[in-house]
Structure 1
Amino acid sequence: MSKKSIIILVVLAVIAIFVYTRYNGTIVLRENAKTAWSNVEAEYQRKSNLIGNLVKTVRGAADFERTTLQNVIEARAKATQTQINVDDLTPENLAKFQEAQSGLSSALSRLLVTVERYPDLKSNENFLKLQDELASTENSVRTAIKRFNEEVKDYNISIKTFPNNLFAGFFGFTEMAQFKADEGAKDYEIKDDDFDFSS
């Protein structure tokens, strides 16, 4: 074998090893982002389940406003139906998902404001426990979203930077969308001094 052939083989081997390690590194980053998305979905599912239990508890109050309750039930159904395939995390799909989740949070917020008018329900031990669990779950959702965004950022940087950007499209690596903060979004936690129903 000639020197020229050996040099060509060595160069080809170096290129193959380089592409192999870059490809595998990108796969790891993409799978980390997918796992982080699964964690986001799991937290939202937990929130949905807790809201279902909260609705059942509130429904027991005979004179409770049915329209408010119905709005939560409908928003929960819409949020549950809005799913995204982890391989299709486009900005449009993620925006639809966020819109459905924001609608649920908004309906839940109105429900909890209305509950303030019902002292018996407000002091119901089961209701208080569910309310605490919802607040805790909301924190878990925020944490899961933050981790997801960090994983997606690492993956997106990897496929956009040289030299990965040269072969990312060839191997089917496409950019993933991140959660964006809702403008004017508010937590549904209620503070006693936020509302004055005496007027």
Structure 2
Amino acid sequence: MTFRAILTLAAAAMLSACGLNSVPTAEENAKAKWGEVQNQYQRRSDLIPNLVATVKAAGAQEKAILVEVTQARAAANTVKVSGDDLKDPAKVQQFAQVQGALGLSLQRLQEAYPELKSQGNYATLMDQLEGTENRITNARRDYNTAVQSYNVTIRTFPDAIGAKIFYGAKPMVPFQATTPGAETAPKVDFGS
């Protein structure tokens, strides 16, 4: 064997060894990125229903207080006492009761005011929805970038030699929306 043939074989062996580490490294990176995609979908699945339930509960509590105030105000407006009615203790007492009920309702509203949080809860929910969708988008983008890197690695020389001989590497599939309407974020339903 000539020196040139030995040099050629040695160069080929060294070049083919280049893919021995880069192919599994690229593959594991792509798998890890896919795991993050799944993680972000799970986060959305866990988080959003709990946030919606929290917002609904706060809204229901606030609604009850506001309904009570509205009903008390309506009741207070139905009882009228004229100058002639001031001699009738029952009418004066009835007027005092509905006005007292309105006063109590307003007092409850005033006491609950620092706790009224539905606006803030809605804002938090919207922020979380946006943040969650952004995290999912970033995770899918990172996965697609890792898949592209892996696919380029197994198709380009010299890594392609090791990829085919040692690993039987096949291209990975990038993330693509397949569900009809997947381009639309899920709707949040408060049941109202």
TM-score with structure 2 length normalisation?
0.53
Match for residue 109 of structure 1? none
**How far, CA to CA, are the matches of 2:10 and 2:48 in structure 1?**
57
**How far, CA to CA, are the matches of 1:189 and 1:128 in structure 2?**
16
Kept after mapping to 2: 8 A contact 1:44/1:141:
yes
Q: 1:1-199 to 2 correspondence within 5 Å? A: 4=1, 9-57=6-54, 60=57, 123-170=118-165, 171-182=167-178, 184=181, 185-188=183-186
The answer to which structure has the higher helix fraction is: 2
**How far, CA to CA, are the matches of 1:127 and 1:49 in structure 2?**
18
TM-fit CA distance, 1:142: 0.5
CA-to-aligned-CA distance 1:147-186 (integer Å, 9 cap, x gap): 2111101211222345544443331322211111456422
TM-score with structure 1 length normalisation?
0.52
SS where residue 21 of structure 2 aligns? helix
| Distance verdict in 2 for CA 1:162–1:13, change over 3 Å | closer
| Distance verdict in 2 for CA 1:166–1:13, change over 3 Å | closer
**How far, CA to CA, are the matches of 1:26 and 1:42 in structure 2?**
24
Kept after mapping to 1: 8 A contact 2:19/2:161:
no
Higher relative contact order (CA 8 A, sep 6+): 2
Cα RMSD between the aligned structures?
A: 3.4
> Runs of 5+ in structure 1 lacking a partner?
63-120, 191-199
**How far, CA to CA, are the matches of 2:133 and 2:19 in structure 1?**
37
Amino acid at match of 2:20: Y
Aligned length: 131
TM-fit CA distance, 1:122: 9.7
SS where residue 168 of structure 1 aligns? helix
> Runs of 5+ in structure 2 lacking a partner?
61-115
| Distance verdict in 2 for CA 1:128–1:43, change over 3 Å | same
TM-fit CA distance, 1:52: 3.4
**How far, CA to CA, are the matches of 2:38 and 2:187 in structure 1?**
22
